[in-house]
Structure 1
Amino acid sequence: MAASMTRVWQMAPSLVQCRSLHITLGLEKAKTGAEQLWLTRQQRDPYVKAAHAQNFRCRSAFKLLEIDKEHKILRPGHHVIDCGAAPGAWSQVLVDKVNSLEQDPAASVGFVLGVDLLHITPLDGVVFLSKCDLTVPATQEKIINLLPCGQADVILSDMAPNASGIRELDHQRLISICLSLLDFSETVLRTGGSFLCKLWDGGESNLIRDRLRQRFHYVKTVKPKASRTESAEIYLLAKLHKDTTYK
């Protein structure tokens, strides 16, 4: 699995990350019609504006906030792995949710570990592994060594390969990434823990759902309002990781 996944990542050497929120149409004209459409959409996007206002690095922060508000997967004291963390918006949410900076001295103190193939600007309350491939055993060993007691309460993944424009190929690449992460979760995720991964919905989505149902007591498909309506993006949420020690 590790070898095949390395080939997948070589085909898509960097994760899709949010583009800069600093858009000034008066200073920079779009060179193509597609760029102009993207800039116009960003200008009108209420989540982009809210991200500016609340100092989030990316609008995707609101996806995690919405999912957690409805499903209660994060709490103070949790140890969390943020996979595909760049540019760091989910990690910003996690710092507050798990109390990793001991903002609340009366609550348990959590731990946040972010991993990405890209560089991630440092963030107080988070340990980042930049330019690291999660599918490589050496990276997985680093994660285990950095996690308190070598285990996580929650694994979150917003990872995705760069889109090729071929929908089925992109879908299969993301399925392979999720399968690799799910295999790794068996090593680090505590019994009772939670797992959340992004998919581009397609023909093999049920493969991930079936694997999750084997390993968790609760599995649900979620699409937060902050996910654009036209996007094939969905999230699979799994809670209550089963004890697989003797299986």
Structure 2
Amino acid sequence: MLCSHREVTHIKLNYTRMCFLVNCLKRFKSSQEWLSRQKADPYVEKAKIYNYRCRSAFKLLEMNERTNILRPGLAVIDLGACPGSWTQVAVQKTNADGADPSKPKGTVLSIDKLQIFPIQGATILNNMDFSTIEAHDKVVEVLNGQQVDLVLSDMAPSATGVRELDKDRIIGLCYMAIRFAALVTKREGNLLFKVWDGKEVPILEMDLARFYKNIKILKPMASRTESSEKFILAKGFKGIQRPLQNGRWG
């Protein structure tokens, strides 16, 4: 039996409404799960106690304890730094705020497209896309031509819900971070950045191995068990040997 045009339109409208309600319920359930997880998370409470802006500070603290990449006197850039917890840790560990007069004073520069509230000891570049020429020029200006010892990145794209698409997007961010680091890091400098586990990661490691002496995968305890995130530490920058093209090594 054939439906009239009005009936077909009515069916389509009801289907659209149903899909909208289903998506709303999914988002509500996801939000409730997130709130429950936050309440049960000991690192969330610890972040409040130690005055860190979010729990991710403990990921960097743990990784630094294992690798000692943050030390007094070092120059560090934190990419995609908002809300600033990694910057807070970097300032403390490099003595960028001069809290300990007996130790060398470091430099910490933070960049994000979003607004970051001031952090004592850090220079913050708000509303800036680190992948642009403008950002690179500003970094060179702020550092007065000095190259940095370490580039940090805890960046991740907003999730679309499409697993493969999300992985492609974070890999793209990783290559942009690698390219930026190559332009500002001194020889023997280091790079630490976040990635989501997937088949693209071994290729990423191979690309890194051409320009860094040592590649190490880190999974701090502060990373949630169900999370596919891990961190790649590339140590001992060899310098740029070939031009960079399209965000990947040429």
Same topology, TM > 0.5: yes
**Mapping 1:1-247, distance limit 5 Å:** 32-244=28-240
Over residues 164-203 of structure 1, what are the superposed CA-to-partner deviations in whole Å (9 max), with x where a residue is unaligned? 0111111111111111221122211011111001001112
Query: What secondary structure does 1:177 align onto?
Result: helix
Over residues 15-44 of structure 1, what are the superposed CA-to-partner deviations in whole Å (9 max), with x where a residue is unaligned? xxxxxxxxxxxxxxxx93322221111111
C-alpha distance in 1 between matches for 2:144 and 2:241: 20
Percent of paired sites with the same residue:
43
C-alpha distance in 2 between matches for 1:179 and 1:38: 29
C-alpha distance in 2 between matches for 1:58 and 1:148: 31
Q: Which moved more, 1:174-183 or 1:141-150?
A: 141-150
Amino acid at match of 2:130: L
Structure 1 residues not aligned, in runs of 5+: 1-30
Displacement over 4 Å in runs of 4+:
none
Amino acid at match of 1:238: A
Q: Which has the higher contact order (CA 8 A, sep 6+)?
A: 1
Amino acid at match of 2:90: L
User: Kindly tell me: are residues 209 and 105 of structure 1, through their superposed partners in 2, closer, same or farther at Cα, counting changes over 3 Å?
Assistant: same
C-alpha distance in 2 between matches for 1:105 and 1:153: 21
Report deviation, 1:104.
Answer: 1.2
C-alpha distance in 2 between matches for 1:52 and 1:167: 32
Q: In 1, are the aligned partners of 2:182 and 2:239 still within 8 Å (CA)?
A: no
Query: What secondary structure does 1:143 align onto?
Result: helix
C-alpha distance in 1 between matches for 2:119 and 2:80: 15
Pair member with larger Rg: 2
Query: What secondary structure does 1:150 align onto?
Result: coil
> How many pairs were matched up?
217
Report deviation, 1:243.
Answer: 3.7
C-alpha distance in 2 between matches for 1:178 and 1:152: 18
User: Kindly tell me: are residues 44 and 159 of structure 1, through their superposed partners in 2, closer, same or farther at Cα, counting changes over 3 Å?
Assistant: same
RMSD: 1.5
TM-score, normalised relative to structure 1: 0.84
C-alpha distance in 2 between matches for 1:187 and 1:32: 43
Query: What secondary structure does 2:145 align onto?
Result: helix
Query: 2:247 matched to which residue of 1?
Result: none
Q: In 2, are the aligned partners of 1:196 and 1:238 still within 8 Å (CA)?
A: yes
